[in-house]
Structure 1
Amino acid sequence: MIVRQRSLIAITAALAAGALTLTACGSRDSGDNGSDSSSGGTTVVIGVDAPLTGQNSATGLGLQYGAQIAADDANKNKTVPGVTFKVKALDDKALPATGQQNATQLVADDTVLGVVGPLNSGVATQMQQVFATANLVQISPANTAPELTQGKNWQTKKTRPYKTYFRTATTDELQGGFAADYAANGLKKKKAYVVDDKQTYGAGLAKIFKEQFAKQGGKVIGTDHVNVGDRDFSTLVTKIKNSGADILYYGGQYDESQILTKQLKDAGANIPLFGGDGMFTPTYIKTAGKAAEGDLVTSIGVPVDTLPAAKTFVDTYKAKKYPGDYGTYGAYSYDAATAIIKAVGQVVKDGKVPSDARTQVVDAVQKTSFDGLSGKISFDEYGDTTNKQLTVYQVTNGEWKSVKSGTFEPKN
Structure 2
Amino acid sequence: MRKTGILQAAMFGLLLSSSGALADDITFAVAGPMTGQLANIGDQFKQGAQAAADAINASGGVAGRTIKLSMEDDQCDPKQAVSIANRIVANGVKFVDGHACSGSSIPASAVYAEGGVMMMSPASSNPAMTDDAAAKGWSTIMRLYTRDDAQGAFIGPWIAKKYAGKNVAILHDKSAYGQGVADAVRDTMEKSGLKEIFYDGINAGEKDYSALVTKLKEMKADVVYFGGYHPEAGLMLRQAAEQGYKFQLIMPDSIASPEFWQVAGPAGEGTMFVFPSDPQARPEAKEAIEKIKAGGFTPEGFTLFSYAVIQAFAQGIERAGSDDPVKVAEALKNGEPIHTVVGDVTFDEKGDLKNASYDINQWHDGKYAPIPLD
TM-score between the two structures when normalised by the length of structure 1: 0.81
Partner amino acid, structure 2, of 1:373: V
Give 2:7's aligned residue. none
Q: CA deviation at 1:177?
A: 2.9
Report the 3-state secondary structure (helix = DSSP H, G, I; strand = E; otherwise coil) of the residue aligned with 2:107.
coil
Give 1:55's aligned residue. 37
Q: CA deviation at 1:393?
A: 0.6
Alpha-carbon separation, structure 2, partners of 1:397 and 1:114:
40
Which of 178, 185, 195 does residue 161 from structure 2 map onto?
A: 185
Give 1:223's aligned residue. 199
Q: CA deviation at 1:331?
A: 1.1
Q: Is the 8 A contact 1:151 1:159 kept in 2?
A: yes
Q: Is the 8 A contact 1:184 1:190 kept in 2?
A: no
Q: Quote the sequence identity (%).
A: 28
Which deviations, in whole Å up to 9, do the C-alpha atoms of 1:176-209 show, x marking residues without a partner? 2322222222355622111111110111111111
Partner amino acid, structure 2, of 1:149: T
Q: CA deviation at 1:81?
A: 3.7
Give 2:366's aligned residue. 398
Give the direction of change, closer, same or farther, for the CA distance of 1:100–1:312 in structure 2 (3 Å limit): same
Which deviations, in whole Å up to 9, do the C-alpha atoms of 1:217-273 show, x marking residues without a partner? 222111222112111001100110011211011011112111111112221221111
The 5-angstrom pairing of residues 8-407 of structure 1 reads 34-35=22-23, 42-110=24-92, 112-151=93-132, 159=135, 162-188=138-164, 190-299=166-275, 301-322=276-297, 326-347=299-320, 357-367=324-334, 369-404=337-372
Q: CA deviation at 1:79?
A: 4.4
Q: CA deviation at 1:149?
A: 1.2
Partner amino acid, structure 1, of 2:125: T
Alpha-carbon separation, structure 1, partners of 2:137 and 2:212:
37
Report the 3-state secondary structure (helix = DSSP H, G, I; strand = E; otherwise coil) of the residue aligned with 2:363.
strand
Alpha-carbon separation, structure 2, partners of 1:380 and 1:220:
33
Runs of 4+ in 1 over 6 A off after TM superposition: none
Report the 3-state secondary structure (helix = DSSP H, G, I; strand = E; otherwise coil) of the residue aligned with 1:345.
helix
Alpha-carbon separation, structure 2, partners of 1:33 and 1:294:
51
Alpha-carbon separation, structure 2, partners of 1:49 and 1:381:
24
Q: 1 or 2 for the larger relative contact order (CA 8 Å, sep ≥6)?
A: 1
Where does the alignment leave 5 or more consecutive residues of structure 2 unmatched?
1-15
Q: Select the structure that is richer in helix.
A: 2
Q: CA deviation at 1:404?
A: 4.5
Alpha-carbon separation, structure 2, partners of 1:62 and 1:366:
26
Partner amino acid, structure 1, of 2:363: V
Q: CA deviation at 1:370?
A: 2.1
Give the direction of change, closer, same or farther, for the CA distance of 1:108–1:405 in structure 2 (3 Å limit): farther
Give 1:39's aligned residue. none
Which deviations, in whole Å up to 9, do the C-alpha atoms of 1:328-348 show, x marking residues without a partner? 111111111111111222355
Which deviations, in whole Å up to 9, do the C-alpha atoms of 1:297-318 show, x marking residues without a partner? 111x211331111111111111
Report the 3-state secondary structure (helix = DSSP H, G, I; strand = E; otherwise coil) of the residue aligned with 1:170.
coil
Give the direction of change, closer, same or farther, for the CA distance of 1:308–1:249 in structure 2 (3 Å limit): same
Q: CA deviation at 1:286?
A: 2.0
Partner amino acid, structure 2, of 1:366: K
Where does the alignment leave 5 or more consecutive residues of structure 1 unmatched?
1-27, 36-41, 153-157, 407-412
Which deviations, in whole Å up to 9, do the C-alpha atoms of 1:55-109 show, x marking residues without a partner? 2111221012211111111110114342111111101111111111111111122
Partner amino acid, structure 1, of 2:307: Y
Give the direction of change, closer, same or farther, for the CA distance of 1:238–1:310 in structure 2 (3 Å limit): same
Q: Is the 8 A contact 1:191 1:218 kept in 2?
A: no
Q: Is the 8 A contact 1:189 1:247 kept in 2?
A: no
Q: CA deviation at 1:32?
A: 9.5
Q: Is the 8 A contact 1:193 1:222 kept in 2?
A: yes
Alpha-carbon separation, structure 2, partners of 1:204 and 1:246:
23
Alpha-carbon separation, structure 2, partners of 1:366 and 1:212:
29
Report the 3-state secondary structure (helix = DSSP H, G, I; strand = E; otherwise coil) of the residue aligned with 2:350.
coil
Alpha-carbon separation, structure 1, partners of 2:210 and 2:218:
12
Partner amino acid, structure 1, of 2:124: N
Q: Is the 8 A contact 1:282 1:400 kept in 2?
A: no
Q: CA RMSD in A?
A: 2.3
Give the direction of change, closer, same or farther, for the CA distance of 1:346–1:304 in structure 2 (3 Å limit): closer
